[in-house]
Structure 1
């Protein structure tokens, strides 16, 4: 009987040792992956900082003014003036096709839609904050 307990105890100890060994190596692998991800995040943040600085350098007003002056003959760029703005009515919209009027973009026509009118009992419905008014209306 003692031998049986000794053998079972040894098997349990080996099983726990194997489990601890596996968990240890899984944890080390996870730590390595987390470290790699943190390094990647740091590199991406550094890249973003560099790109922001480069964007600020490229968009500095003196550079933009020099580019506008150099390309003014072809692009005719300049500051915005009030006469550069227009009204929506001034836009040349494409003509409507009869199909566009009869059928929507999703294929639903006017015949597919039914509208049900509900007669209003109170011409000016308003929310009531006092419960006694709601109960009085419900009792009627």
Structure 2
């Protein structure tokens, strides 16, 4: 009985030792992934800031004026924009096979 108990304790000790190192390895991998996610989020924030900076209306207007001869772009004016009600959407029959569709409603309109 004593020998069986000693062998059992040794087996449980080896298993616990392996589980401990396995857990430590997984914790290190998780921390590495969390650092990578944090770095990716920081890069994404910088890219969003750059995108917002590059798409400033005054900058785009100046670029359109500077490159008018090459691109024939006209400056943006408020009357060039429409409202949601002016957009012609496809009929519901065409949308039956579409997955993950998003319904668009106008301001003040509630479903």
Choose from 6, 9, 13 the match for 2:9. Answer: 13
Aligned residue number for residue 36 of structure 1? 32
Unpaired stretches in structure 1, ≥5 consecutive residues: 83-140
Q: What secondary structure sits across from 1:77 in the alignment?
A: coil
Q: Are 2:23 and 1:27 aligned?
A: yes
CA RMSD, 1 decimal = 1.5
Query: Which position in structure 1 is the counterpart of 2:61?
Result: 65
Given the alignment of the two structures, is residue 74 of structure 1 paired with residue 63 of structure 2, yes or no? no
How far apart are the structure 1 equivalents of 2:12 and 2:71? 77
Equivalent residue number for residue 48 of structure 1: 44
Q: What TM-score, normalized by structure 1, do the two folds share?
A: 0.53
What SS does the corresponding residue of 1:64 show, helix, strand or coil? helix
The alpha carbon displacement at 1:64 in A equals: 0.6
Paired residues, number: 78
Higher relative contact order by CA 8 Å / sep ≥ 6: 1 or 2? 2
Structure 2: unaligned runs, 5 residues or longer: 81-111
TM-score (norm 2): 0.66
Q: Give the ranges of 4+ consecutive aligned residues of structure 1 lying more than 3 Å apart after TM superposition.
A: 79-82
